[in-house]
Every structure is written in C-alpha cells, then in structure tokens.
C-alpha cells in the first residue's frame, strides 16, 4: 500500500471533542456520515464503522469506561482523501498489538470470540492506519480514499 497523500494536501474540515461516554459515539458517527456525504463518498459505511470502533476503543480501553475525559476527533480532506484523527490522553495502546491487529479466523461462527474485532475491522476498511503517542497524547490517524459513484449517462 502506498502512504497516501501528504498532510499538506489536506484541508481541515471540522473537529469535535466529546466526553468519554459511549452514548456520545453516535454523535461522532453522524459527523463522519456528514463528512463523507459532503465529499460525495460511497464508502460511507467503511468510514463510519472505523470511527465508531476507534472512539469506542478509546472510551473502553484508554479511559477504561470512565466518563469525564476528552476524546478529540478531527476531520480533514482533499478531493481524493478523508483523514480522521482521534486523539486522547488515556492509556496508550501497545504498538505490537496495533501492528498485529487482524480479524479473527474461525471455521465455525460458534468459535468466534465476542470481543477483539475493533482494530482488525479498522485495518480492514481503512486505506491506512497509524497510531502514535506524542507528548502524552495518543493519536490514531485513519485514511480513507474518497470513492465516488460513477456518473451514468443521461438520456434526453
């Protein structure tokens, strides 16, 4: 996979900061749909599931489900790319776990674990995923291509 666009080509669109409460994840999902719709993206559900998983993971794992902490989400875009950054000041993610994230394989649905899909799903649906801790802040960057529906010829 290529590295995607340089950050200089991306224009900030908007950002939101929510409290670390799972009931507020829907707000971020709505904003992701608005960002995708504004760009004419057809891969809206990929972006939505990735952002829901990312923000839910921050709340559940980085902040251990404790409300009262900030989760900051920033949307930036170009005509070809949507970039979403999720930033928190909670417990850092083990870099080995991040690199090893995959969807679990099972021969039978009954063998599948109930949890542990989040990072694998994010890696599956995003073009690029980067995680880093900078000055006590965890930053998860998600990059998705702007896929648009093909234009159909019109009969007059």
- Walk me through the domains of the chain, giving residue ranges and CATH numbers: 9-145 (3.30.565.10)
Handedness of CA 143, 80, 31, 120 (dihedral sign): negative
Handedness of CA 132, 138, 139, 140 (dihedral sign): positive
Give me the DSSP letters along 98-130: HHT------SSGGGS-SS--HHHHHHHH-SEEE
pLDDT in tens, 58-100: 999 999 999 999 999 999 999 999 999 999 999 998 776 666 5
Within its chain, how far is the Cα of 46 from the centroid? 9
Question: SS3 for 37?
Answer: helix
pLDDT in tens, 20-71: 999 999 999 999 999 999 999 999 999 999 999 999 999 999 999 999 999 9
Place of tokens 């709340």: 59
- Tokens standing for 125? 């649906």
* Section 98-117 average pLDDT: 56
Residues ≥6 apart with Cβ < 8 Å to 95: 131
């Amino acid at each position: 996979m290529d590295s995607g666009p340089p950050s200089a080509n991306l224009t900030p669109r908007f950002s939101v900061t929510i409290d670390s409460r799972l009931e507020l994840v829907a707000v971020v999902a709505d904003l992701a749909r608005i960002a995708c719709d504004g760009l004419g993206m057809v891969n809206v559900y990929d972006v939505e599931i990735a952002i829901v998983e990312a923000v839910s993971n921050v709340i559940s794992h980085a902040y251990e489900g404790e409300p009262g902490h900030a989760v900051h989400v920033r949307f930036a875009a170009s005509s070809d790319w949507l970039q979403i950054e999720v930033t928190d000041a909670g417990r850092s993610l083990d870099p080995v776990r991040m690199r090893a994230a995959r969807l679990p394989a099972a021969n039978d649905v009954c063998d599948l674990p109930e949890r542990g899909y989040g990072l694998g799903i994010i890696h599956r649906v995003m073009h690029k995923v980067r995680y880093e801790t900078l000055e006590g802040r965890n930053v998860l960057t998600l990059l998705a291509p702007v896929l648009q529906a093909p234009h159909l010829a019109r009969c007059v």
